[in-house]
Structure formats: C-alpha cells, structure tokens
Chains A and B, each alone.
Chain A
Amino acid sequence: MFDSLKERLEGIFSKLRGKGRLTEEDINDALREVRRALLEADVNYKIAKDLVERIKERCLGQEVLSSITPAQQVYAVVYEELCNLMGGKKERLNFAAKPPSVFMLVGLQGSGKTTTAVKLALKISDSHKPMVVACDLRRPAAVKQLKVLAEKARILFFGPEEAGSGNVMDVTRKALSYADAHLIDVIIFDTAGRLHIDDDLMTELEQMHKLLDPSEVLLVIDSMTGQEGVNVAEAFKEKAGITGVVLTKLDGDARGGAALAVKAATGVPIKLVGVGEHLEDLEEFDATRMAQRILGM
C-alpha cells in the first residue's frame, strides 16, 4: 500500500522533465504526497498540516524551484524538517542532584510500562543501585510480572506485601523508606495503565507526583499509536507532568509517526526506545533514524 515518499516524488517530478521550470502547482502536487506519507505514518493530522505548511514555504524558495533534482530537494527539506521537529541533541535522563532519583513510568494500558521499568533499571545498573516498585495494584498479576522480570534482571524489587491488595500511596511511601534504608539511589515506579480521560486515575498520578517529586516522569507510548497519541500525551503532560517519552515496540514495522506528533504537540523529548521483549532491548532515541523511519527509508 505504501510506496515510499521518495519514489512518489520521483514519479511526480519525472512527469515534468523537459518542461523546464517548476511551478507552484508542481510543488503542491509534491506536497500532497508529503502529506500523504506523513498521515500514513500516523503523524497527527494537525501536526502534519503545520509541517506541510512549513515545508511548502521552504520549497517555494529558489533552491527547490530552480533545482535540476527537485525530488531530491523536496525530500531533503522534508527530512530536515522532521529531524528539526524531533530535536537535534541527544536527550539524557535527569537524575536528582541529591539521591535518590525517582522515575515514574506512566501511560495507557499495555504500552510497555512494566517491561520498560525493568529494562531501564537494568540499563543504569552499571553505575547505579536501582530498585523497581510495583504500583500497579489493579491489573491481575501486574505485581508478579514486575517481580519476575526484576528477578530475571537481578534488580531490587519492592511491592505490596499481598498481591491484589493495598493502596498505591501506601506502597509509594513504604518504597521510599525502604529505599532510604537500603542505599538505593534510583527508584523506578511502575504504575497501572490508565486512559488519559480517566479523571480518578489521572488524579492518582498527580498525588504520586506530589509525594515523589520525581526527576523523570516518562510517558511510555506504543509506536503503533495512531492519531489519538497527541491527546494522550497532552493529558499526561498536564496531569502527570511528563518529562520524557519512551517509544516502545519499535522492533515491528510501525512507522511511529505518533512519536513526532507527541514531541511537536508537547515539546517533551523522546528519550528512549523499546526494541524488543528482552530486557536488554532498550536504546537511546535517535532523531535522525526516527525521521528516516517515518519516511520509510
């Protein structure tokens, strides 16, 4: 179904060969394909619209209009704009000046929070003494899932004494004093999946945030997410104060345009990507690779 944008642009501009100079109309044809490619990659409709406007302005400049390789020129502009949108510099995790650093993982149901909690702990365990905390007391066996993964990765685990019971704020408080007593310098809180429109559960995150004053609140979002990703990210930013994004399941073939939209809409940087079910499968986010992916390169 998806021809690559590059091929489509070549197709459009090849029709023009011999005609001499490009017109605004030609550029508009090309931009329609750009828009299509962005939408097929799940870039949010409104973000795609703004982006295409910006791209258009640049394409109407001389460098493209007078180019003998307009397809490549347009493509280069699109690519550059995507890279710009996603941020040039590598985004590192924030750690507290005075330990312990607290990280919270938040997001919709099934996005990959629990897995990412342990992946993240494992990733920093060379230079830190992390602990993961089970604050999903709702989903059946969520506590056990975190515990099993933590054991596998040899990461310290803290959870409610009895599965399927207890209170999130209680566990949170106890985890803090446990961490204090055991010289743990990074505490990673797994939380229950929730819809961004669920007021009660979003309030729970607000309360946790207040108590924990976290160094990082990471929104864990599935790379297969569609148009709603923007609203999800905006709501988690407002209610849970997200400071970074983890984009999961990038080992599949999803283009991941939601990532771009999330960054564009909230300004919150993508910091990490999940690339598999194994606990080692967590990587730093790379904006240029992501731009290539969205464009199907």
Chain B
Amino acid sequence: APGKKIDESFWDGLEEQLLLGDVGVDLTDELVAELRQEAKKSNIKDASALKEKFVDLIVRKLEEIPGMGKPIETKNKPAVVLLVGVNGSGKTTTAAKLASKFTSEGKKVLLAAADTYRAAAIDQLKVWGEKIGVRVVAHDVGGDPAAVIYDAIESAVASDADLVISDTAGRLHTKHNLMEELKKVKRVVERRLPEEPSESLLVLDAVMGQNAFYQAEVFNEALSLTGVILAKYDNTAKGGIILAVAQRMSLPIRYVGLGEGSEDLELFEPRSFVEALLS
C-alpha cells in the first residue's frame, strides 16, 4: 500500500495517541519534538516508517534502563521481595502470582502477610497460598507488619527457603506515617540480611493516570525501589505513565499483570508495550 504522508495530521494523531495513553503532556511534548528532529535528520517521507522509528526510539530509551523487563533477583538465599503501592493496585494478587511463578521454577517460596490492616487481607493471601501450594507466614489482624516480615525471614532461613515474597498494606503515598511504617519494614529486612539487597517493587494499576508518577516518586524516595510491576495491563488502558516513571526515575518495569489468575503475570516487554501504546 502507498505510504501516508507526514503532515500535521500525522503529528496531531501521534500526540493524541500518546496523551490518550496516559504518557502525560511533558513527556509527550518531548518525545514528539525528538521525533520531529529525527524526521528532519533522516529525511523519512513515509508516515508508517517514521512511526516505526518512533517505536524504536522509545524502546531504546526503555532498554537503556538497567533491569528493564528482567525478572527479580533470586540469587540470595533467602531473597526478599516487598510489594508496595497505593490501595487496590494489585499487590496481594501479584504476590501470589510471583510466588506461583517461582514455585513452578523449582524455588521454595514463602509468602509474608504483612498487610495486617485491611479487612480480610490476611485471609486473601492465605486463600492464595492454599491455591498455589505456598506457605503463608501471618500474624493476627492489627499486628506489626515489621514483625511479620522478620518472622517470615527467620522461617525462610530455618526451612532453607529461597524466596520471601511480602505483601504489604495499600497506602496512599501522601500518608506520611504509613510511609514511615513501610520504611521500618524495609529496615528490618536490611538489618536481618545486611549483605543481601532486597527487592522493593511498586505495583501500579495500568488504568492510573498522572498520579502514578507521584506515587513512584514518593515510594522511591522512601524505599529506593528496584522496579515497577504494571498490574491490570489486560485492561484497554495503555499504562503510558510508566514511560515517565521509567525515564525520570530510571526505574525498570519488571512484570505486567494480565489477569486475576495466578498464572497471569509476564515479564515486561518494552517493544510490545510501545507497539500497543502506538497501535
């Protein structure tokens, strides 16, 4: 088929796609400006060829970030993974998905029920544990989350487990005391396993807009995040805000959640993500 021309409607369409994909105004402007330069420089005349260039350009930016699309680190024994994020983003389900994934890869996994706050959060994780055959370390409702994670690590060491995956209570990044509580959880992990860095992963809901950026900023500040998981990516939402999160904070996107089942988790793939964003 004859290629389309690169005219103003091409640029408008591109901008629209990025904005509708939650990429955000600033980054959209930057990316479009960069592509305009590229178009001039490379003298591309065909719209679809230029769009392919655009995909490449964004993919390259993503792939430059260390850890992008890489599985969590499980070399340490036990390796510890904290899942954090705002209310309802998908932490508990993602904990179960990760546990299921690593169990099927032959690792011995423990789940830690460090959300002692939300109604039936512990039960939710326990049901998952039973379903996927993973032991859940839990205290009573209202207990200290730091104590739960401490126990889980002790238990992992005692039982020679490879991996502790900890759920945590949902909290808005604007709640200072709850963020402090989370820092304490992380300090307990670091004190107990000083040699081995743990993973702290932010779970973002793909339907979220610009606020996800601030979430990432504040959670990163508090915990030095090691990555992001984009949950509910089976939604038609494109999750474009993770481009700003990845780029501005140099945070890798590690996995995407693709459903409510324990198997619905895949490694993040920059190229298919960008292609979906621009499709």
Question: Interface of A with B (CB < 8 Å)?
Answer: 1, 36, 39-42, 44-45, 108-112, 138-142, 144-145, 147-149, 152, 164, 195-197, 222, 224-229, 231-232, 249, 251-255, 257-258, 277
Decide if the interface of chain A is mainly helix, strand, loop or mixed.
loop
Q: Which residues of B contact A231 (CB under 8 A)?
A: 236
The CA-CA distance from A148 to B173 in the complex, in Å, is 26
Cβ–Cβ contact A139 & B260, under 8 A: yes
Chain A: CB-nearest residue to B215 = A224
Contact A145 B120 (CB under 8 A): yes
Which residues on the A side are within 8 Å of B86 (C-beta)? 224, 249, 252
Write the B128-140 contact mask toward A (1 if CB under 8 angstroms, else 0). 1001000000000
Asked if B26 CB lies within 8 Å of chain A CBs, one says: yes
Residues of A within 8 A of B16 (CB): 45
Q: Is B19 an interface residue (CB 8 A)?
A: yes
Closest B residue, CB atoms, query A113: B88
Instruction: Report whether A253 and B205 are in contact in the complex, using a CB–CB cutoff of 8 Å.
Output: no
Check: B9 CB closer than 8 A to any chain A CB.
no
Contact B236 A258 (CB under 8 A): no
Taking a contact as CB atoms under 8 Å apart, the answer to whether B88 and A226 are in contact is no
B25 close to A224 (CB less than 8 A): no
Question: Does B104 touch A at the CB level, under 8 Å?
Answer: no
**Residues of B111-143 contacting chain A, CB below 8 A:** 118-121, 123-124, 126-128, 131
Query: What residues of B have a CB within 8 angstroms of the CB of A225 in the complex?
Result: 207-209
| B43 is an interface residue with CB less than 8 A from chain A | no
Chain A minimum-CB-distance residue to B239? A226
Chain A residue numbers with a CB within 8 Å of B234 are 195
**B16, B87, B209 — most chain A CB neighbours (10 Å):** B209
Output the residue of A42, A164, A197 with the most chain B CB within 10 A.
A42
Interface residues of B in 173-225 (CB under 8 A from A): 173-174, 205, 207-214
Residues of chain B in range 152-190 having any CB-CB distance to chain A below 8 Å = 172-174
Interface size on B, residues (CB 8 A): 43
In chain B, residues 33-49, which have Cβ atoms closer than 8 Å to a Cβ of chain A? none
Q: In the complex, are the beta carbons of B241 and A1 less than 8 A apart?
A: no
List of B residues within 8 angstroms of A257 by Cβ:
209
List residues of chain A with CB within 8 A of the CB of B120.
141-142, 144-145, 147-148
B232 at the A/B interface (Cβ < 8 Å)? yes
Q: Is A227 within 8 A of B26, CB to CB?
A: no
B interface residues (Cβ-Cβ under 8 A, vs A):
16, 19-22, 24-26, 86-90, 118-121, 123-124, 126-128, 131, 172-174, 205, 207-214, 232, 234-238, 241, 260
CB distance from A74 to the nearest CB of B (A): 19
A-B CB proximity, top 10 nearest: A226-B209, A110-B88, A140-B127, A42-B209, A145-B120, A228-B237, A141-B123, A141-B124, A252-B172, A254-B211
Q: B248: shortest Cβ distance to chain A, in Å?
A: 9
For B87, B174, B213, which residue has the most chain A Cβ atoms within 10 angstroms? B87
Question: Across the interface, do A226 and B237 meet the contact criterion of CB distance under 8 Å?
Answer: yes
CB atoms of B208 and A224 under 8 A apart: yes
CA A108 to CA B22, docked complex, whole Å = 18
A sample of 14 inter-chain contacts (CB < 8 A) reads: A39-B19, A40-B24, A42-B211, A109-B260, A110-B232, A222-B208, A225-B209, A226-B208, A228-B235, A251-B172, A252-B211, A253-B214, A254-B211, A257-B209
The residue from A139, A140, A227, A249 contacting B87, defined by CB atoms under 8 A apart: A249
